[in-house]
A and B are shown apart, each in its own frame.
Chain A
Amino acid sequence: MPQYILKRVLYMIPTLFGLSLIAFMIIQLPPGDYVTSMIASMQDSGANVDPRQVERLREIYGFNDPIWLQYLKWIGGILTRGDFGYSFEWNRPVADLIWERMGSTLAISVAALLFVWAVALPIGIYSAVRRHSVGDYVFTFIGFIGLAVPNFILALALMYMSYRYFGQSVGGLFSPEYVDAPWSWGKFVDLLAHLWIPIIVIGTSGTAAMIRVIRANLSDELRKPYVITAKAKGLPEHKVVIKYPLRIALNPFVSAIGWVLPELVSGVTITAIVLNLPTAGPLLLRALISQDMYLAGSFILLMGVLTLVGMLISDLLLALLDPRIRFT
């Protein structure tokens, strides 16, 4: 097993190298650079641009270097100093920017994920065990509505409702008076009061999809002969379902962790913009629009790393859960 992990980590090195190349290439793809887009927006607002100053900026930022040198400088900084470069737009190191947003991003994403599991798991099991019952149809109906309604519509509707009926300030994670206040009980309650909207908005479509998958997986497993064996042993039905088929039906979810991790960081950008959440999604979008190349590149690289780590974790977990899978 340790040997297997070592092997997998070694495999990750060339993959990461390729990933960083691709990330760098993606941010170089659009014509022009940060300075171009800065000039464009300055000219839009009527300001005069001195060509010499532009040239000087290019010099400072290193845009005149050949691409491979730019890449080497960037990746060298990451590897040797943990320096992900400098955000032109925010005038701050990229690493600071990302870490700052990471806390709230993870809080919201993990809360939404827990919400999805807490709601979807019991409903999915119920739907599978009592397939074609009235309850199953009701949940299926609600589930499809959840899948079909776009997240931002739901976000707008919930924001309107919370403003109209609960008199809450909408958007963001805190009411204005708490934004810069130190942590206190009041701030925590205020956070909870704001948090439910993004959680429900982000969670609904996931919940709906999850119910369908659990229902499908589990009803396949319920028909397997080993379920009858367990029943014939004299095991009560709820124990039969939880111990045997559910255990196997959940395996596919473990293998999906690889997708969940990057999703946690960059997912639900539109919802975050609509709800004005201080998460990483909007930051990434802004960086891509303004060609803030080191910020965007670091984001893409970070998501790649998270995908790889997620895949490794899910492979290891799956092997622990399912004895049929061997390390080779």
Chain B
Amino acid sequence: MTKPDLGTEGETRDDVALSVENLSLDFKLRTEILHAARDVSFKLRRGKTLCLVGESGSGKSVTARALMRIIDSNGIIANGRILLDDPKGKIDIAQLDERSKDLLAIRGGRIGLIFQEPMSSLSPVHTIGSQIIEALRLHRNMSKAEARAETIELLRQVEIPNPDKMIDRYTFEFSGGMRQRAMIAMALSANPEILIADEPTTALDVTTQAEILDLIKRLQVSRGMAMLLITHDMGVVAEVADEVAVMHYGRIVEFGSVDDIFYEPKHDYTKRLLNSTVKLEQNRRSTKRDSEVGTGKVILSARNLSKLYGASTAWFGGSTHAIKAVDDVSFDLHAGENLGIVGESGSGKTTLGRMLLRIIEPTSGSVMFNGDNGPLDVTKLSKRQLRDYYSEVRLVFQDPFASLNPRMTVRDIVGDPLRVTKKIGGKALDDRVCELLSLVGLDPSTRERYPHAFSGGQRQRIGIARSLALDPKIIIADEATAALDVSIRSQVLDLLLDIQKRLGLSFVFISHDISVVRYFCDRVGVMHRGKLVEIGPTEEICTAPKQLYTQSLISAVPNPDPRNKRMLHRTRFKD
């Protein structure tokens, strides 16, 4: 290793590991030039964490990747310097040739990168080990055997169990959290001085997120690395940051210590961002008295719902192991109530939601719907009868991009349920669409446009308008706000609450995001491995949960208050 030992020499040298000065990035698009980053300046200090915060499209990922000169071929560094501290003076990364050896040595060797999608950020056809060994051999002069031993050691450091066996496994045999750990091991393999973590936990469950953040933080401190953490989650910022830079439309609008940003924000945008985060920490419906919760007529009730997967036998004998996706779940939904279902990925919450609609057939159990025409056993309905049921109970999807047909205009999309049921047509249909669009806060004159002309939040509004078209009694919202930015998220939630007040709807709100459920729901059910482990009033679940699993889940949620870090003192759940 040619690199100096940071521990001993760090004190005599400047503690700034990397400084970015007036960096501007331009992307050449078909008709215009997009200024993805403008005049961005910040410093990364050894042993400290700088959080770059902003909503999607604010230019934070591009800026981070520019530090390693990994930007798309249509992008250029228009201006500015990226100075990497070096014993021989400072190296300006912005000036290095794209293919030069110097740059390749910096990538991975001195700056490590972890990023968002643990599913696709590792090659699916190479073993975890071979990918880490490759990184080791690029930067550290090691033989194959040495690199293998070092890789096992690295995997041990990132707390992967049985590292000597896991090294020969493929990525698809790892869970999301394990993949992210392997990714961290790879990024750290060459002892970089700087670690760039681009939304490292966004795709993970809260408990896994807490573990990964914990791990990154510990490794950073023990190795004295400078870290640039990119995130949109103010809770994560409060938990791990030392300094914060807020990015908005390619500019850093505010920069300061984490305490200053949270307690004395100066810029309007920072205040807005904080408000929408903090707002979600309270329950909008807590004005209701507790006694009112769950007193209305029971409108939908599930009894002993179960779903088994893989119970069928294969052709050549031998039945595969059955998985209980949903295991004996029972609950009631009252009229005018919002019931939240929370749980980690794979806990069966989506399957449960779909079984309520019989999009997925339950293996056993029953669903009773108590509409205007008396009680109805949903599990016994024929295909034809189900259609009437579907006009009473509607679904809102997670992905506002994939759930709208790109070749249909907004009017066709919103009016589609009306046309299918043949209730109204022509002018009446058009009027109804306009009415629905204004109900969800969209301009009715935009109804001739196609979905691509709308932003994510607007699309989700279109999806909501579609679900309201048939005057349903119940809306099942499956992660309806998961794909949206924080500020948009609270807007959409407020919209749903507003509509609920006007139309007297009930919601089954499925989410992995506890803060959203807390904001929106009267009662919450917690799911774990297909079982409903706890159900009760929201405040009770969020502040004084009884079950150990719920406690660990709640305490893993990052708290957007740097003076009161919750995650580090979280309850751990082992089973």
Contact = CB atoms under 8 A, between A and B. Distances in A.
Contact of A229 (B122, B138, B190, B316): B122
B499 to A, nearest CB: 37
Given A236-B99, A236-B104, A226 B122 contact: yes
Interface string A214-243: 000000000011101111111111000000
B121 A226 contact: yes
Contacts of B138: 233-235
A323 interface: yes
A244 B68 contact: no
Nearest to A245: B123
A225 B120 contact: yes
Given A229-B183, A233-B134, A324-B172, A248 B104 contact: no
Nearest to B314: A328
B170 A324 contact: yes
Interface stretch (B6-14, B105-113, B284-292, B470-478): B105-113
Interface string B120-153: 1111111100010011001100000000000000
B186 interface: yes
Nearest to B110: A234
Contact of A231 (B70, B116, B125): B70
Nearest to A321: B125
B26 interface: no
B125 A322 contact: yes
B509 interface: no
B137 to A, nearest CB: 10
A231 B121 CA distance: 11
A233 B108 contact: yes
B228 to A, nearest CB: 13
B70 A232 contact: yes
B117 A324 contact: no
Contact of B107 (A7, A232, A321): A232
B121 A228 contact: yes
Nearest to B316: A7
Given A225-B115, A225-B120, A226-B120, A233 B186 contact: yes
Interface string A171-209: 000000000000000000000000000000000000000
Given A229-B113, A234-B139, A235-B134, A224 B107 contact: no
Contact of B108 (A7, A226, A232, A328): A232
Interface string B189-201: 0100000000000
B183 A232 contact: no
Contacts of B125: 247-248, 321-324
B11 to A, nearest CB: 28
B108 A324 contact: no
A232 B115 CA distance: 11
Interface residues on A, range: 20 to 34
Could you say which of B117, B124, B127 has the most chain A C-beta atoms within 10 Å of its C-beta?
Answer: B124
Could you say which of A226, A231, A322 has the most chain B C-beta atoms within 10 Å of its C-beta?
Answer: A226
A234 B113 contact: no
B517 to A, nearest CB: 30
A248 B108 contact: no
A226 B172 CA distance: 13
B124 A324 contact: yes
Contacts of A244: 123, 126
Contact of B186 (A7, A225, A229, A328): A229
Contacts of B139: 234
Interface in B179-215: 183, 186-187, 190
Given A7-B316, A226-B122, A232 B68 contact: yes
B121 A234 contact: no
A294 B38 CA distance: 77
A75 B274 CA distance: 81
B375 to A, nearest CB: 45
Interface string B3-45: 0000000000000000000000000000000000000000000
A323 B113 contact: no
Contacts of B121: 225-226, 228-229
B123 A234 contact: no
A233 B135 contact: yes
Interface string B59-94: 000000100101000000000000000000000000
Contacts of A7: 316
Contacts of A324: 124-125, 170, 172
A234 B106 CA distance: 7
Contact of B109 (A224, A225, A234, A322): A234
Given A228-B121, A323-B125, A233 B107 contact: yes
Contacts of A232: 68, 70, 107-108, 112-113, 187
A323 B105 CA distance: 31
B123 A231 contact: no
Contacts of B120: 224-226
A16 B123 CA distance: 39
Nearest to A226: B123
B183 A234 contact: no
Contacts of A230: 123
Contacts of B65: 228
Nearest to B173: A323
A235 B70 CA distance: 12
Nearest to A238: B99
Interface in A239-261: 244, 247-248
Contacts of A226: 120-124
B30 to A, nearest CB: 11
Contacts of A228: 65, 70, 113, 115, 121
A247 B123 CA distance: 10
A207 B134 CA distance: 34
Nearest to B183: A229
Nearest to A236: B104
Contacts of B122: 226, 229
Nearest to A325: B125
Nearest to A223: B72
Nearest to B121: A225
Contacts of A328: 314
Interface in B301-331: 314, 316
A241 to B, nearest CB: 12
Contacts of B123: 226, 229-230, 244, 248
B99 A237 contact: yes
Contacts of B113: 228-229, 232
Contacts of B186: 229, 233
Given A228-B115, A228-B121, A229-B121, A234 B108 contact: yes
A323 B170 CA distance: 8
Contacts of A225: 115-117, 120-121
Contacts of A235: 104, 108, 134, 138
Nearest to B189: A233
B124 A248 contact: yes
Contacts of A248: 123-125
A86 B521 CA distance: 82
7 contacts: A225-B117, A232-B70, A236-B99, A248-B124, A323-B127, A324-B124, A324-B172
Q: Which 3 pairs across A and B sit closest by C-beta, in order of nearness? A: A234-B108, A232-B113, A234-B107
Given A231-B68, A233-B134, A235-B134, 19 more contacts: A7-B316, A224-B120, A226-B120, A228-B70, A228-B113, A229-B131, A230-B123, A231-B70, A231-B107, A232-B70, A232-B107, A233-B135, A234-B104, A234-B190, A235-B108, A235-B138, A323-B172, A324-B124, A324-B172
Interface of A: 7, 224-226, 228-237, 244, 247-248, 321-324, 328
